Amino acid sequence: MGKTNELSMLVDELQKCGEALIGISEGLADMFSGAEEEKQPAKKATLKKKAADEPKLDSQPKEEKPLTLEDVRAVCADKSRQGFTAEVKAILTKHGADKLSEVDPAEYKALLAEVEVLGNAK
């Protein structure tokens, strides 16, 4: 593997770590802002009333953000590190590619579903 390719993979991994940290910080911020609202009963009652007025989120169609090559690569790399390299390669071949970058983005969801179950007891 060339140094440029290796560096590119490291940059991708670093970016994923940064995105994970942002997600964690946003989750913590939501948790702590929720804790402050519980301490203030007047606001809590107002929030309950607003929640009752709004339609339920479950009834609305959920928007999924499209999977990216980096999202799929992270899961495949993790499974490969867990010892499922041959299985991941077989799934890629099943989807008509020798390497992940050759997989059609429309197939990412199906491919990811197959890779994620590797190693799970049935």
The per-residue pLDDT for range 30-78, each reduced to its tens digit, is 787 765 555 555 555 555 555 555 555 555 556 677 888 888 899 999 9
- Sequence ranges of the domains in the chain: 1-61, 64-122
First to last CA, the chain: 36
Tokens of 106: 């429309």
pLDDT at 91: 92
pLDDT at 93: 92
pLDDT at 2: 77
Three-state secondary structure call for residue 77 = helix
Residues comprising the chain, all counted? 122
d(CA 97, CA 39): 55
75-104 mean pLDDT: 90
pTM of the predicted model as reported, rounded to 2 decimal places: 0.47
